[in-house]
């Protein structure tokens, strides 16, 4: 490829991906000194640090005692007190006064809402495949330009153009209207589309910079002068702009949906053996289509007046049905406590507490649905929040959050501080017995396959028969296979349960359920959550209500929302164009494989087979355009326009039923694992499948009228990224059929580790100056491999296209070498 053609492709890539800054400092988290009187097993005593008295002084009872939830001044004093004592507390671990803390990518992803774990998949209405992880598709900032990151605590400097200084630099003023023009109801010509995109690109360029000296600043130097991180967000970049625009579009579509008149019937029938429905059933007189249910769900979420009027009453009903929450109730009956029953009932409500259970494809036989068991999630984003004492304020804020929510449900009656302490202490113990992210990275090392009959032999103290009898109901099969990824955790968990008082267990389990449902209740709960998120994530205020409701509808009824979006804004030509582009990228990958000097012939042949059989899904599943089939997907969901909380519970029950009933069935690999109207892309290891929803096939990543340099440098890099995931440190463990299978020869595995180690060391050496935290090259190696491979394959595919379509000319400003950018892939030398 000629030098000018290289510059054209690179310009398309950088203009789209470079505006990415402002990561919130969410590094690790502290914990409270353990109560020395607590009975603890030896393995806990060894790993629980004895913190200094200075930390204990900060957590004195008076700060968490029975004061009003609105006493924000005292809470602020508590957090500030912790910050002021940072220097003194460094003495807890000598030599760590300037310790370097890893920026765990998983924590960043929690903030920007890209990757979803198993629980998030299910809670958002997405069929879950254990290895269909939503890998982060954001190419990382070109590494020699980390200095361009902007500290999130600073405002935009004085480089804002004069005519823009008086404008409010936020998404509603700038990005949404700009990108929204691409969705104009009036059809735009090819010339108009290109002109619009050109204007946006030129607006964010800095023409004063020599592109041969700093291509980043040249392509995107003015972007940060137009945007700050909005107060209702934790990060802001091009992907957030596209998501924001998509939310605007979905809101308009939802408002356009016409609804018929309603009649209401009351149904308070209790079902034997499970939590009562207590649903207000709605009967739609003209239609019961999925699109009407979507509209009703949105209406119920937007009806803040009705939500505020009901307060916490909808939640209190469910709490009572689950046995009560002792910390806010005087009539809890400990004699009736049954931990197995409570855990199973919470699972029916799609909540995994203590144990994470789901039905999905077996990783060694991707055609078979089996039961999976793993360690649970926690109330804070990750295990590290509990085991690292360098950021102790987050656990304190967590205690305050529990107190604020409990006081709302207790109608301002006193809440025992000891109950709050016990909840957090128990969760700290949970975190301590969990495996770390590093220990769980190689899934083949932790995979244990058994069946329901044999499971009690491994963990005899837990009544598995009763648990699965409730969760699976009539679908219980004694010989049903079970894959366990947490054997050591389950053994320690059973012991931890045995030494924990029933009151603490019930308080904790109910808190985890309440924590998830706080978003579906009135403004008092929202205010408590925002107060907590301000400390945890740095979010200064809640998002607009309509934004929250669009997210709720798209997360819980994504296929129906996708149908509305696709019918109005997505055409078949874009789908076909993307398929052709993907085929070019796959061809580029095959050629790179053949040229690879360190892979042996056997491994190359299996890799070629894997790329040949990689399944591609673009845009949307066809069934969503069939009204009858779409309605059947949501047939057993009850939705009423005035009862938001009950609507969400109905959806959660539906998700659990749909998943659990798959046990014993053959896996349908044609199923989509995400909704169409989302800005993301996916690779499923268990299906050897790449998926690109309609939501990401939008400007500035892609448009059928864009020049090929922009499309290859935009969505082409994303496509290459997902293809490469099939061969990263996790993807390479799975064969062409999606099964865990050792298909690499030992010599090639050794070379792979050498290359991976080089890349790990390279990324670990980069530090974000705004927060003085190094990247964790080990935990991010999969994404780093995919980023490098994606850029390389898209660049090569574009070069092939240029050879077949000669005659393109680029400005002479790009004539000099771009070796610094090509060197990004030099260390890895992958595919």
Catalytic annotation, pick one of 722, 728, 735, 783? 722
Phi-psi domain of 101 (left: phi exceeds 0; alpha: psi -120 through 50; beta: other):
beta
Q: Any residues with CB less than 8 A from the CB of 348 and at least 6 apart, and which?
A: 274, 275, 470, 471, 653, 656
Judge contact between 599 and 751, C-beta under 8 A.
Answer: yes
Q: Among this protein's residues, is 36 annotated catalytic?
A: no
Pairing of strands 448-451, 280-284: unpaired
What single-letter DSSP state applies at residue 694?
G
Dihedral of alpha carbons 109, 692, 224, 211, sign: positive
**H or E segment and range at residue 612:** helix 601-612
Tokens encoding 12 = 């398309």
133 a catalytic residue: no
Q: Using CA atoms, how far apart are residues 141 and 713, in angstroms rounded to an integer? A: 14
Which residue among 8, 135, 427, 787 is the active-site one?
Answer: 787
What DSSP string runs through 369-430?
EEEEEEE---SSSSTHHHH-GGGTHHHHHHHHHHHHHHHHHTTT----HHHHHHHHHHHHHH
User: DSSP secondary structure string, 729-770?
Assistant: TTGGGB-TTS-B---S-HHHHHHHHHHHHHHHHHHHT-EETT
Q: Which of 265, 300, 302 is nearest to 641 (CA)?
A: 300
Pairing of strands 448-451, 682-684: unpaired
Closest CA to 540 of 16, 22, 1, 13: 22
User: Residue 618 in 3-state DSSP?
Assistant: strand
Q: Which of 244, 259, 159, 249 is nearest to 209 (CA)?
A: 159
CB atoms within 10 A of CB 804: 7
- Please answer whether residues 232 and 535 qualify as being in contact, where contact means their C-beta atoms are separated by less than 8 angstroms: no
Residues contacting 668, CB < 8 A, separation 6+: none
The DSSP bridge partners found for residue 371 are 359, 482
Q: Which residues are catalytic?
A: 722, 787
């Amino acid at each position: 490829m000629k030098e000018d053609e290289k510059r054209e492709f690179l310009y398309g890539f950088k203009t789209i991906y470079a505006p990415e800054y402002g990561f919130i400092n969410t590094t690790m988290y502290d914990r409270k000194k353990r109560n020395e009187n607590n009975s603890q097993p030896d393995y806990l005593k060894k790993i629980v640090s004895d913190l200094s008295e200075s930390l204990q002084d900060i957590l004195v009872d008076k700060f968490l005692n029975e004061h009003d939830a609105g006493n924000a001044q005292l809470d602020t004093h508590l957090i500030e007190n912790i910050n002021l004592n940072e220097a003194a507390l460094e003495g807890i671990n000598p030599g760590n006064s300037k310790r370097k803390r890893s920026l765990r990518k998983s924590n960043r992803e929690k903030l920007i809402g890209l990757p979803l774990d198993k629980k998030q998949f299910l809670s958002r209405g997405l069929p879950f495949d254990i290895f269909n992880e939503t890998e982060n598709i954001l190419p990382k900032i070109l590494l020699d330009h980390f200095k361009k990151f902007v500290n999130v605590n600073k405002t935009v400097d004085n480089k804002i153009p004069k005519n823009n200084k008086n404008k409010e630099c936020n998404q509603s003023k700038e990005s949404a209207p700009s990108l929204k023009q691409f969705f104009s109801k009036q059809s735009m010509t090819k010339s108009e589309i290109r002109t619009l995109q050109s204007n946006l690109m030129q607006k964010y360029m800095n023409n004063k910079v020599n592109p041969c000296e700093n291509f980043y600043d040249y392509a995107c130097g003015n972007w940060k002068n137009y945007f700050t991180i909005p107060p209702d967000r934790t990060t802001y970049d091009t992907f957030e702009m596209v998501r924001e625009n998509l939310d605007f579009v979905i809101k308009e579509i939802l408002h356009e949906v016409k609804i018929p008149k309603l009649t209401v019937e009351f149904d308070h029938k209790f079902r034997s053996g499970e939590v009562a429905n207590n649903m207000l059933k709605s009967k739609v007189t003209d239609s019961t289509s999925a699109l009407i249910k979507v509209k009703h769900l949105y209406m119920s979420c937007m009806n803040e007046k009705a939500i505020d009027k009901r307060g916490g009453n909808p939640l209190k009903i469910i709490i009572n049905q689950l046995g009560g929450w002792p910390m806010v109730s005087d009539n809890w009956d400990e004699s009736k406590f049954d931990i197995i029953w409570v855990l199973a009932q919470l699972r029916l409500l799609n909540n995994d507490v203590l144990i994470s259970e789901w039905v999905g494809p077996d990783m060694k036989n991707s055609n078979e649905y089996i039961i999976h068991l793993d360690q649970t999630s926690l109330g804070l984003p990750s295990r590290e929040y509990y085991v690292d004492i360098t950021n102790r304020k987050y656990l304190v804020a967590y205690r305050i959050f529990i107190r604020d929510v409990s006081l709302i449900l207790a109608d301002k009656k006193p809440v025992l501080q000891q109950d709050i302490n016990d909840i957090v202490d128990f969760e700290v113990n949970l975190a301590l017995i969990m495996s770390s992210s590093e220990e769980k990275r190689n899934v083949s090392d932790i995979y244990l396959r058994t069946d329901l009959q044999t499971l009690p032999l491994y963990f005899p103290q837990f009544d598995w028969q009763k648990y699965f009898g409730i969760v699976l109901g009539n679908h219980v099969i004694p010989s049903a296979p079970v894959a366990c990824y947490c054997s050591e955790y389950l053994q320690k968990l059973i012991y931890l349960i045995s030494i924990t008082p029933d009151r603490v267990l019930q308080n904790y389990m109910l808190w985890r359920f309440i924590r998830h449902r706080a978003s579906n209740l009135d403004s008092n709960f929202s205010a408590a959550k925002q107060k907590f998120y301000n400390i945890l994530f740095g979010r200064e205020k809640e998002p607009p209500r309509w934004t929250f409701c669009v997210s709720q509808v798209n997360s819980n009824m994504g296929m129906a929302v996708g149908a509305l979006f696709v019918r109005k804004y997505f055409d078949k030509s874009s789908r076909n164009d993307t398929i052709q582009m993907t085929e070019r990228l796959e061809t580029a990958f095959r050629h790179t494989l053949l040229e690879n000097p360190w892979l042996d012939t056997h491994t190359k042949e299996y890799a070629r087979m894997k790329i040949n059989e990689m399944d591609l899904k673009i845009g949307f599943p066809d069934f969503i355009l069939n009204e009858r089939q779409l309605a059947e997907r949501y047939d057993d969901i009850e939705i009423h326009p005035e009862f938001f909380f009950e609507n969400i519970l109905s959806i959660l029950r539906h998700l659990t039923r749909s998943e659990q009933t798959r046990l014993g069935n053959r896996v349908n690999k044609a199923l989509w694992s995400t909704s169409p109207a989302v800005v993301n892309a996916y690779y499923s290891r268990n299906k050897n499948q790449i998926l690109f929803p309609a939501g990401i096939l939008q400007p500035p990543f892609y448009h059928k009228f864009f020049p090929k340099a922009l499309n290859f440098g935009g969505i082409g890099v994303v496509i290459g990224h997902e293809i490469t995931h099939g061969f990263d440190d996790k993807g390479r463990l799975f064969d062409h059929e999606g099964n865990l299978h050792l298909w690499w020869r030992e010599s090639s595995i050794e070379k792979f580790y050498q290359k991976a180690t080089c890349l790990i060391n390279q990324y670990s050496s980069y530090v974000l100056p705004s927060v003085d935290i190094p990247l964790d090259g080990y935990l991010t190696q999969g994404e780093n491999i995919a980023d490098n491979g994606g850029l390389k394959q898209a660049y090569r595919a574009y070069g092939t296209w240029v050879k077949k379509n000669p005659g393109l000319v680029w400005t002479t400003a790009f004539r000099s070498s771009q070796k610094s950018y090509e060197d990004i892939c030099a260390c890895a030398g992958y595919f």
